[in-house]
A and B are shown apart, each in its own frame.
Chain A
Amino acid sequence: MSKKASNKGRPSAPWSKKEAEKRAAERPESVAPVPDAREAEVAPAPQTREAVLEEVHALEAELEVLGAKIHAEHEARLRSAPPPPPLAAAPAPIPAPLPSMYDASKEVLSTNHFTRTWSRDALRSKVEDVDDMGFDRPFADRIAPTLDFLHDRWFRVESHGSESIPANGPCIFVANHSGTLPVDGLMLRVVLEKLSTRETPDFRWLAEDDVFHFPFVGSTLTRLGAVRACQENAERLLARGLRVGVFPEGLKGIGKLFRDRYQLQRFGRGGFVKLALRTGTPIVPVSILGGEETQPMLARLTFFAKLFDVPYVPVTPTFPLLGPAGLVPAPTKWKIFFGEPIDLSAHGAEAATDDLLVSQLSERVRSEIQGTLDRAVGERKSVFFG
């Protein structure tokens, strides 16, 4: 560094102090001299130091003036002369033949044309490869930015107690279910994906039949990692070392009216406890706060439902009123609380047939989630800001 600086300083030696003063005088007032500390410090002798400083200032000033002049000239040119037509210089393009009526009609009437166009469109949304359960990694990756937006910006999901999640091996996440369109499974997936250190997504959740078999919803959820809720599927997932999310409230959880929010419904028939007992997998209770207010359901209509193959038609402040746009969830503040894992392996696999024990354990998990939710609802100051 110092060598470079001294080299810079050396050619300035022949400059006389007089000349430097003259140049300094020519310099316009507007340009404030900026002393370069580094240059000054390294200068070898006090008599040349002044000269060097002066020289640097002078050069700077010159540059400034020159730059301003060029800029002004350019501005003036732009303002005075209209820009030349850009195509004038370019070689004249070969005029494209006008499509005749015959060509156009041939294009339109050719079924081959439509087949090609449609198959191209279909290929655009192509499925790359799915695993045995229908999870489509490329599709999930394509959707990931949308889900991240929902997680980071829309719901601003905060997760608590994630350090208690078992780091290795499968586990069963048991959560409360909410929202007319259940996005809680998706959000839980995003949260766990963000916490996971594994290369491949290893969280799948079980979706109830009515959601799963609904047109478009089911096929999309399958590709994102949802699986129809049944014992066989859950066991298969756990046997593969995957982590499984369960919403034991099922349809009753989604279909809660707004006045019943955060009141957990019956936890099915304790299927998740049987699953945990049979496979010796720990249960992690998960309480999701904020989901209930995304689409506050005011009423359930059943008389149209048969027509659309749904169990009921939800009525929210926005839904039938604004059409499909009314299904956009409200941007509530979400908090996800992970409880301490519950290890049931001490009971043994044969305990799964003990119905009393199963219902007791199921109730224990339910009351734990209910307690966490009650506490969280009490501490919450605002639905939208947490």
Chain B
Amino acid sequence: MTPLPSSQPSGRPPPRVIAVVGATTFFGEHLLGVLEEDPRVDRIVAVGEKTSPGAGAKTRSYELDVTQPGSEARLAEIFATEAIEAVVHVGFLQVPATAAAWAHEYESVGTMRVVVAARKASVGKFVGVSNTWLYGALPSNPNFLDEKRDLRASRSEPFFADKIEAEAKMRELAEKSPETSVTILRFSPIVGSTIDNLHTRWLSRSFVPTLLGHDPLFQFLHEIDAIAALKHALFRDVPGVYNIVGEGVVPLSLAIRLAGRTAIPLPRTLLRPLVSALWLAELAEGSEAFLPYLRYLCVADGSKAALAGFKRAYTSREALLDFGSTQRLRDARQLQEPRR
């Protein structure tokens, strides 16, 4: 990761006391590790269901479940007593959960509680994560979706609906409390050697089902670039919504081949019931609401983020190649599976 310049473009000084909410997730764990190493950070507060493996000497961990009623008051109390200057909210699910009610509490309601606590403690900075797939794969999409577009992913799929609600809450914070600098990072599908999410699980199957006759363009972000973007958003004053995407696009067929997998193209009339059945049997990564992404484009425009100074080390293709090489090691049982 490149060292960030110490000069600050705007008047706000970089935060020295940072709270990471969702510290047990992939982003939380690695962000804790990165912040531990950063000399600009004095203290880190990790909030999660249990102690994060990324916690180090500078970190104070709080075990707090945001699905519990009343957790917002406790959270606000933590923010106030620890004199938190910035909150990073990364407590989101990377894989669709079959327990939809719990997922709703965790993502939608949980985010609401974090936002309420951040407002109560008048935190100076708030960084939240989101997803470019929330734009939805629609036939009317242009090739590149910019940040001004509405989030029109299927609301019937809890994975999207909860995240869209959560993002709305975070944007509400930006509107209601102007003293808080709110940055929302919409990540494109993330792949890498250690992350475990919907996309890596899907690309880990030896046979990857696709839609016959359709080959949409995909973009991938490397996990390291995602962590780097979170850090950039923390230390530079970049309020607003940003698409954080890997450079370049890759056709789905090529993506599967780069990951070292075999695509199984199936007609839509066959794949739809198959995916529904597998999802009900908890054998598929996602429900049939994800099938449009195999058919239509959902590619985001990362030019705004590039102007704001977000840098990426990997292109879409390189991120996939990195994922593919670790996948090859896993196939040969030379590398353990990613931590779930």
A228 at the binding interface (Cβ < 8 Å): yes
**Which of A118, A127, A133 meets B262, CB within 8 Å?**
A118
B143 touches A233 (CB 8 A): yes
A228 touches B254 (CB 8 A): no
B143 touches A213 (CB 8 A): no
Q: Could you tell me how many residues of chain A have their Cβ less than 8 Å away from some Cβ of chain B?
A: 30
The smallest beta-carbon distance between B218 and chain A, in angstroms, is 11
A266 at the binding interface (Cβ < 8 Å): no
The smallest beta-carbon distance between A272 and chain B, in angstroms, is 16
A213 touches B139 (CB 8 A): yes
B143 touches A219 (CB 8 A): no
Q: How many A-B residue pairs have CB under 8 A?
A: 68
A219 touches B257 (CB 8 A): no
B140 touches A132 (CB 8 A): no
A230 touches B262 (CB 8 A): no
- Which residues of chain A come closer than 8 Å to B268, judged between CB atoms? 309
A228 touches B253 (CB 8 A): no
Name the CB-closest residue of B to A111.
B206
B250 touches A130 (CB 8 A): yes
- Which residues of chain B come closer than 8 Å to A119, judged between CB atoms? 257, 262
Name the CB-closest residue of A to B264.
A118
B215 at the binding interface (Cβ < 8 Å): yes
* Dominant secondary structure at the B interface: loop
The smallest beta-carbon distance between B272 and chain A, in angstroms, is 13
CA distance A115 to B263 in the complex (A): 10
CA distance A209 to B140 in the complex (A): 8
The smallest beta-carbon distance between B136 and chain A, in angstroms, is 15
A232 touches B142 (CB 8 A): yes
A123 touches B257 (CB 8 A): yes
Segment 215-256 of A: residues with Cβ below 8 Å from B: 215-219, 222-223, 227-228, 230-233, 236
CA distance A236 to B297 in the complex (A): 16
A122 touches B140 (CB 8 A): no
Contact with B along A181-215 (1 / 0, CB 8 A): 00000000000000000000000000001000111
Evaluate whether A209 and B139 lie within 8 angstroms (CB atoms) in the complex, with A123-B257, A216-B213 already known: yes
Contact with A along B44-85 (1 / 0, CB 8 A): 000000000000000000000000000000000000000000
A259 at the binding interface (Cβ < 8 Å): no
Q: Could you tell me how many residues of chain B have their Cβ less than 8 Å away from some Cβ of chain A?
A: 26
Contact with B along A108-140 (1 / 0, CB 8 A): 000000010011001100110010111010000
- Which residues of chain B come closer than 8 Å to A122, judged between CB atoms? 253, 257, 262-263
B262 touches A236 (CB 8 A): no
B338 at the binding interface (Cβ < 8 Å): no
The smallest beta-carbon distance between B267 and chain A, in angstroms, is 8
A219 touches B214 (CB 8 A): yes
Evaluate whether A132 and B143 lie within 8 angstroms (CB atoms) in the complex, with A126-B254, A126-B257, A213-B295 already known: yes
**Which of B249, B251, B254, B296 meets A213, CB within 8 Å?**
B296
Evaluate whether A215 and B214 lie within 8 angstroms (CB atoms) in the complex, with A122-B263, A133-B143, A232-B143 already known: yes
- Which residues of chain B come closer than 8 Å to A222, judged between CB atoms? 215, 217
A219 touches B215 (CB 8 A): yes
B251 touches A130 (CB 8 A): yes
The smallest beta-carbon distance between B332 and chain A, in angstroms, is 13
CA distance A290 to B240 in the complex (A): 53
CA distance A211 to B142 in the complex (A): 15
- Which residues of chain A come closer than 8 Å to B295, judged between CB atoms? 213
Segment 224-242 of B: residues with Cβ below 8 Å from A: none
- Which residues of chain A come closer than 8 Å to B296, judged between CB atoms? 213
- Which residues of chain A come closer than 8 Å to B313, judged between CB atoms? none
Contact with A along B137-155 (1 / 0, CB 8 A): 0011111100000000000
Which one of B140, B213, B295 has the highest number of Cβ atoms from chain A below 10 Å of its Cβ? B213
- Which residues of chain A come closer than 8 Å to B140, judged between CB atoms? 209, 230
The smallest beta-carbon distance between B220 and chain A, in angstroms, is 14
Segment 243-272 of B: residues with Cβ below 8 Å from A: 248-251, 253-254, 257, 262-263, 268
- Which residues of chain A come closer than 8 Å to B251, judged between CB atoms? 127, 130, 134, 136, 219, 223
CA distance A381 to B51 in the complex (A): 85
B249 touches A132 (CB 8 A): yes
A215 touches B213 (CB 8 A): yes
The smallest beta-carbon distance between A222 and chain B, in angstroms, is 8
B212 at the binding interface (Cβ < 8 Å): yes
- Which residues of chain B come closer than 8 Å to A309, judged between CB atoms? 268
The smallest beta-carbon distance between B44 and chain A, in angstroms, is 39
**Which of A115, A214, A217, A236 meets B144, CB within 8 Å?**
A236
- Which residues of chain B come closer than 8 Å to A217, judged between CB atoms? 213
B262 touches A228 (CB 8 A): no
Name the CB-closest residue of A to B317.
A129
Contact with A along B112-147 (1 / 0, CB 8 A): 000000000000000000000000000111111000
The smallest beta-carbon distance between A271 and chain B, in angstroms, is 13
- Which residues of chain B come closer than 8 Å to A227, judged between CB atoms? 143
CA distance A236 to B143 in the complex (A): 9
CA distance A216 to B212 in the complex (A): 8
The smallest beta-carbon distance between A206 and chain B, in angstroms, is 11
Name the CB-closest residue of B to A119.
B262
CA distance A115 to B264 in the complex (A): 11
Name the CB-closest residue of A to B219.
A132
Contact with A along B170-208 (1 / 0, CB 8 A): 000000000000000000000000000000000000100
B144 touches A232 (CB 8 A): yes
- Which residues of chain B come closer than 8 Å to A130, judged between CB atoms? 217, 249-251, 254
CA distance A134 to B217 in the complex (A): 7
A132 touches B248 (CB 8 A): yes
CA distance A218 to B251 in the complex (A): 13
Segment 289-320 of B: residues with Cβ below 8 Å from A: 295-297
CA distance A309 to B268 in the complex (A): 11
- Which residues of chain A come closer than 8 Å to B144, judged between CB atoms? 132, 232, 236
The 14 listed contacts between A and B (C-beta, < 8 Å) are A115-B206, A115-B262, A122-B257, A122-B262, A123-B257, A126-B254, A132-B249, A134-B217, A213-B139, A215-B212, A223-B251, A228-B142, A236-B143, A309-B268
Nearest 9 interchain pairs by C-beta = A215-B213, A232-B142, A219-B215, A216-B213, A127-B254, A230-B142, A233-B142, A134-B217, A233-B143
Question: Which residues of A are at the interface with B, using a C-beta cutoff of 8 A?
Answer: 115, 118-119, 122-123, 126-127, 130, 132-134, 136, 209, 213-219, 222-223, 227-228, 230-233, 236, 309
Given A213-B295, A214-B213, A216-B213, 6 other A-B residues pairs in contact with their CB atoms under 8 A: A122-B263, A132-B144, A134-B217, A134-B249, A215-B211, A236-B144
